């Protein structure tokens, strides 16, 4: 009996446990709290669009210095790599020639100034025209005398008779020499005839030489009187011209013009003397020296190439799709391989509307540096980033979170705190990293990032 009671208790216990479990399983489950997805808050800040391109440092102040005058180099005071200051003497020519030219020009100017003073005194005294006419009369008499000497020389015995007589004896002794030659041929073994032939030859040669000398002297006399006559005629023409100038012109003005011309010549000589010294036009470093002391150089010869290592700009290139975005005045950021830790600010100063030679379609732009860090030199490479558009203090989101459309809108997923919702926003500037949100979101709202 006791055993049956124990079994009954066990069965009742099992039935009670099953009922309890049934009751628990029949209750509705408790509501689970939604888990928040990864989000990014809408912030306020700058949105900028940039174009980038490789670049090279180029010098903006470099010059091949030339000698203004030619001559022998007396000094070359620099070598490649030497730093120089503005005004330093780099090279110098032998200055004897330009110094002598200055002295001669100075003396000529003093003479022309003296003539000017005399012309002014003569003009005041009224004696210059009378003196000029006297010079004309004296020159005319000189022509008459020279003409008479010329005529008498042509008709004189020393020109006609002496020459004719000398020719007569030259011909006579030449014929005698011929006779003696024939006689010698008839008796070739005759010593007397040989002696006679040799004596005749000497007489013929002397007579011929005398004829030549007399003829040359006569011609010289004619030439001398011809020159005298020509000189007298030119002196007469000069005197007449001077008289006409005084009569028809203003001698003072003529003298003043001569002074002005001589002043110009002196100035040129002084400039040439200064040009014999080559000085540095700006602070810089010598890149090339093309001649040494002792060598001769001509005017305009490029002698020393000088560069200012602090006057640098970056010549960068942009691809053709970015070219329309670049504008003069845009800010730029530059990074140099030689100074990777330094970021240099700059500004676009020039844009060249011509494709650069090469296989890639790129266009050059020039960027001025706000400052030049130490350690940079011409030819070094750089990476340029030009800010072509900028919006400041605007609502923004990372570009990857906004699915922008061509109509200026975009699609985002917003976390409201207990669920996500799709939202259409108005998009402004699409920068390289951020997108401007003009409408559809508030600052601080959470946008799903995954």
My answer on whether 284 and 252 are in the same domain is no
pLDDT number for residue 374: 83
My answer on whether 340 and 443 are in the same domain is yes
pLDDT number for residue 194: 79
Domain boundary among 284, 307, 330: 307
Return d(Cα 116, Cα 258) in angstroms, integer. 8
pLDDT(169) > 50: yes
pLDDT(26) > 60: no
My answer on whether 139 and 230 are in the same domain is yes
pLDDT number for residue 33: 59
My answer on whether 114 and 140 are in the same domain is yes
Residues 51-93 pLDDT 10s: 999 999 999 889 999 988 888 998 999 999 999 999 999 999 8
**pLDDT band for position 330 (cuts 50, 70, 90):** very high
Q: Residue 243 is inside which H or E element, if any?
A: helix 191-248
pLDDT number for residue 275: 83
Nearest to 94 by CA among 120, 130, 58, 67: 67
pLDDT number for residue 331: 93
pLDDT(366) > 70: yes
Residue with tokens 């030859």: 201
My answer on whether 195 and 303 are in the same domain is no
61 DSSP β-pair partners: none
pLDDT number for residue 240: 84
pLDDT number for residue 424: 93
Average pLDDT of the segment spanning 424-445? 93
Integer angstrom CA distances of residue 7 from 13, 20, 297: 10, 20, 134
Any domain includes 19: no
Q: Which residue has the higher pLDDT, 136 or 159?
A: 136
My answer on whether 137 and 241 are in the same domain is yes
pLDDT number for residue 389: 92
pLDDT number for residue 164: 73
- Mean model confidence pLDDT for the chain: 83
**pLDDT band for position 9 (cuts 50, 70, 90):** very low
My answer on whether 66 and 140 are in the same domain is no
My answer on whether 289 and 220 are in the same domain is no
Average pLDDT of the segment spanning 274-290? 90
pLDDT number for residue 20: 44
Write b or e for each residue in 3-29: b if 16 or more Cβ atoms lie within 10 A of its Cβ, otherwise e.
eeeeeeeeeeeeeeeeeeeeeeeeeee
pLDDT number for residue 67: 87
Least confident of 82-86, 95-99, 188-192, 362-366: 188-192
**pLDDT band for position 13 (cuts 50, 70, 90):** low
3-state secondary structure of 336: strand
What percentage of residues in the chain have a pLDDT greater than 90? 38
Q: Are 93 and 68 in contact (CB under 8 A)?
A: no
Domain boundary among 242, 268, 294: 268
**pLDDT band for position 406 (cuts 50, 70, 90):** confident
Whole-prediction pTM value? 0.53
pLDDT number for residue 22: 45
Any domain includes 3: no
Any domain includes 22: no
Q: Domain limits at 225?
A: 100-268
Any domain includes 138: yes
Average pLDDT of the segment spanning 95-103? 86
301: domain CATH number is 2.40.50.100
pLDDT(337) > 90: no
Instruction: Give 179's contacts (C-beta < 8 A, 6+ positions apart).
Output: 200
Any domain includes 11: no
Q: Which residue has the higher pLDDT, 368 or 145?
A: 368
pLDDT(357) > 90: no
User: Residue 396: what are its φ and ψ, rounded to 5°?
Assistant: -150, 160
pLDDT number for residue 18: 46
325: domain CATH number is 2.40.30.170
Q: Which residue has the higher pLDDT, 155 or 173?
A: 173
My answer on whether 238 and 131 are in the same domain is yes
Any domain includes 71: yes
My answer on whether 53 and 79 are in the same domain is no
Any domain includes 297: yes
pLDDT number for residue 160: 59
Any domain includes 33: no
My answer on whether 296 and 319 are in the same domain is no
**pLDDT band for position 346 (cuts 50, 70, 90):** very high
Instruction: Report the half-sphere exposure of 267 (CA within 13 A, side-chain side).
Output: 6
My answer on whether 105 and 213 are in the same domain is yes
Residues 200-242 pLDDT 10s: 778 878 877 877 777 777 777 777 877 888 888 888 888 888 8
Total number of domains in the chain: 3
**pLDDT band for position 128 (cuts 50, 70, 90):** low
pLDDT(25) > 70: no
Q: Are 65 and 278 in contact (CB under 8 A)?
A: yes
**pLDDT band for position 447 (cuts 50, 70, 90):** very high
Average pLDDT of the segment spanning 334-342? 87
């Amino acid at each position: 009996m006791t055993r049956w009671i124990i079994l009954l208790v066990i069965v009742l216990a099992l039935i009670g446990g099953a009922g309890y479990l049934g009751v628990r399983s029949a209750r509705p489950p408790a509501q689970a709290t939604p888990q928040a997805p990864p989000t990014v808050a809408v912030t306020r800040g700058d949105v900028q669009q940039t174009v980038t391109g490789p670049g090279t440092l180029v010098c903006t102040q470099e010059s091949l210095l030339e000698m203004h005058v030619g001559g022998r180099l007396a000094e070359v005071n620099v070598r490649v790599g030497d730093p120089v200051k503005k005004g330093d003497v780099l090279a110098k020519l032998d200055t004897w020639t330009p110094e002598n030219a200055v002295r001669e020009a100075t003396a000529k100017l003093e003479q022309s100034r003296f003539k000017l003073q005399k012309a002014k005194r003569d003009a005041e005294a009224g004696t210059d025209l009378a003196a000029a006419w006297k010079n004309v009369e004296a020159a005319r008499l000189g022509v008459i005398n020279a003409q008479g000497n010329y005529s008498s020389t042509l008709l004189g015995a020393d020109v006609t008779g002496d020459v004719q007589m000398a020719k007569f004896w030259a011909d006579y002794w030449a014929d005698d020499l011929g006779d003696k030659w024939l006689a010698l041929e008839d008796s070739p073994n005759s010593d007397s005839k040989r002696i006679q032939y040799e004596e005749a030859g000497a007489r013929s040669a002397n007579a011929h030489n005398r004829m030549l000398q007399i003829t040359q002297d006569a011609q010289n006399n004619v030439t001398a009187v011809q020159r005298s006559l020509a000189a007298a005629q030119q002196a007469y023409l000069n005197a007449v011209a001077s008289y006409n100038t005084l009569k028809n012109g203003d001698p003072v003005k003529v003298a003043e013009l001569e002074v002005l011309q001589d002043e110009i010549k002196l100035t040129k000589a002084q400039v040439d003397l200064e040009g014999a010294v080559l000085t540095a036009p700006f602070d810089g470093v010598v890149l090339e020296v093309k001649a040494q002391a002792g060598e001769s150089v001509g005017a305009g010869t490029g002698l020393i190439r000088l560069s200012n290592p602090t006057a640098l700009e970056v010549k960068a290139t942009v691809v053709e799709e970015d070219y329309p975005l670049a504008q003069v005045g845009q800010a730029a950021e530059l990074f140099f391989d030689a100074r990777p830790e330094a970021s240099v600010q700059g500004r676009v100063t020039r844009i060249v509307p011509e494709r650069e030679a090469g296989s890639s379609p790129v266009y050059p732009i020039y960027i001025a540096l706000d400052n030049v860090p130490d350690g940079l030199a011409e030819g070094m490479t750089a990476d340029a980033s030009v800010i072509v558009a900028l919006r400041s203090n605007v609502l923004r989101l990372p570009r990857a979170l906004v699915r922008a459309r061509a109509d200026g809108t975009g699609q985002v997923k917003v976390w409201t705190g207990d669920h996500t919702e799709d939202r259409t926003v108005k998009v402004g500037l699409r920068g390289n990293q951020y997108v401007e949100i003009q409408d559809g979101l508030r600052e601080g709202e959470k946008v799903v990032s995954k």
